[in-house]
Amino acid sequence: MSKEAKLELEGKVYPLPTIEGSEGEKAMDISSLRANTGYITLDDGYGNTGSCISKITFIDGEKGILRYRGIPIEELAEKSTFIETAYLIIYGDLPTRAQLRKFSDLFTEYQFLHEDMKYHFESFPMGAHPMAILSAMINATSCFDEELMNWRWGKSNQFDVYAAKLISQVRTIAAYAYRKSRGLPLIYPKKAYKYTANFLHMMFSTPYEDFELKPEVVKALDLIFLLHADHEQNCSTSTVRMVASSQANLFASAAAGVCALWGPLHGGANQAVIEMLVEIHREGDDGSKFIAAAKDKNSGRRLMGFGHRVYKNYDPRAKIIKKACDEVLAKLRVSDPLLDIAKHLEEAALRDSYFVERKLYPNVDFYSGIIMRSLGIPVEMFPVIFAIGRMPGWIANYKEIMEDAKNRIARPRQIYAGRTLNHYVPLEERK
């Protein structure tokens, strides 16, 4: 079977080379399309457009498969930790004991922010959204690190340090943003605590007493981070790659990723799901009113946490989180009416032809907020938790671009539909 596609255009036939990935995904390479035909392609929302060849994460949306470097998310969720999985995603293999030790030691070494960054936190008003603070402070971090500010690819072997610094400090920045928003004193990280425990410590300890780090709480949050660690070319990761393609530094690219992730159609959905469930609960609706609104295009409502551009089956992460919801709430002896509403919504939607025909299933955001609520994390911090989890994926994608000798700056074309040739009209002649 010819591995070449043929495009017939205005009486001419143009060969298009094709590419097949390791899991059988196929693409037509249109890199020379415009030079050969004068045509470009147009693809609203890039639903049919591959931006890169990547070796990090594989998703089969039809089958509901997600693998990090070939390892199924179900196995990692059951057997791994967030930091071990972060190493796998960034460096391509599960770490040896020594590699994991070295990786963790870097987090301890770089977990403090430059002390002067404290004054930046003071400048944010109470109630500032922590995603705005997170993006601003990730960028600000590079202002306190001259080498990072002047980073030129290939001229610095500091990538591993910057990667560890970003993973470690995003946690510190997030916790400080939360404390600042509540007018609470900043809590410094502790050398003795591992990654996720230290984050909970910085979030919830007081100057007089350390937060009680219940193993089930630490494990549940670590699982949430792990499940968010990467997801191929989603909106925010594509943003990170776009910024990285100009050879901006790693922190600038990650700060841009935070902004893209914040939107309610993307990482902001976990916050929007809880706000939706609280509204349904407050109105005493059993969910059927809301589902009717979500199906009505004019209502401006969507069933948040449902649907996905790639998954046309159950998001495997949602399955894992739903199961963890029951386990964590039982262990913490928490009963949350929002969980019952969420389960009822899911059952009703999956029986409703509107959702079934459009293959709309729960995604990662549908149940994640309920676990985070049970851990005492405030709803405005939910997208921040997503950003902390996604940091290894952004770093791995940045590294892939940085190590690609053929990398070109990302610069899409457009089809212009505005006015044709026009001329300046002096002010006095304008009507």
Q: Which residues lie near ligand SDX (CB under 6 A)? A: 45, 231, 234, 265-267, 269, 294, 302-310, 358, 360, 363-365
- What pairs with residue 18 in β-bridges? 28
CA separation, residue 52 to residues 100, 159, 294, 361, 410 (Å): 29, 21, 34, 27, 10
CB 73 → ligand SDX: shortest distance, Å?
A: 11
The yes-or-no answer on residue 228 being catalytic is no
Cβ nearer to ligand SDX, comparing 176 with 225: 225
Closest Cα to residue 390, out of 140, 155, 167, 146? Answer: 167
Nearer to ligand SDX, 64 or 95 (CB): 64
Q: How far is the CB of 239 from ligand SDX (least distance, A)?
A: 11
Q: Is 403 left (phi over 0), alpha (psi -120 to 50) or beta?
A: alpha
Apex 276 CA angle, 274 and 278, nearest 5: 65
Q: Of 329 and 360, which CB lies nearer to ligand SDX in the complex structure?
A: 360
CB atoms inside a 10 Å sphere around CB 42? 9
Measured distance CA(221)–CA(206) in Å, rounded: 20
CB 97 to ligand SDX: min, Å: 30
Helical spans, DSSP H, in 245-336: 250-262, 269-282, 288-295, 316-331
Least distance (Å) from ligand SDX to the CB of residue 237? 7
Question: Is residue 209 classed exposed, middle or buried when 0-12, 13-18 and 19+ CB atoms within 10 A define those classes?
Answer: exposed
Active site residue 308: yes
Q: Please give the backbone phi and psi of residue 150, each rounded to the nearest 5 degrees, phi first.
A: -100, 20
* Cβ count within 10 A of residue 94: 16
Q: Which of 120, 129, 228, 308 is catalytic?
A: 308
In the complex, which residue's CB is closest to ligand SDX?
Answer: 307
Shortest distance, position 364 Cβ to ligand SDX, whole Å: 5
Catalytic residue among 296, 365, 404, 423: 365
Tell me the CA distances in angstroms from 158 to 105, 147, 155, 347, one per residue in order.
Answer: 16, 9, 9, 50
Residue number with CB closer to ligand SDX (68 or 306): 306
- 77 vs 187 by CB, closer to ligand SDX: 77
Active site amino acids:
308, 365
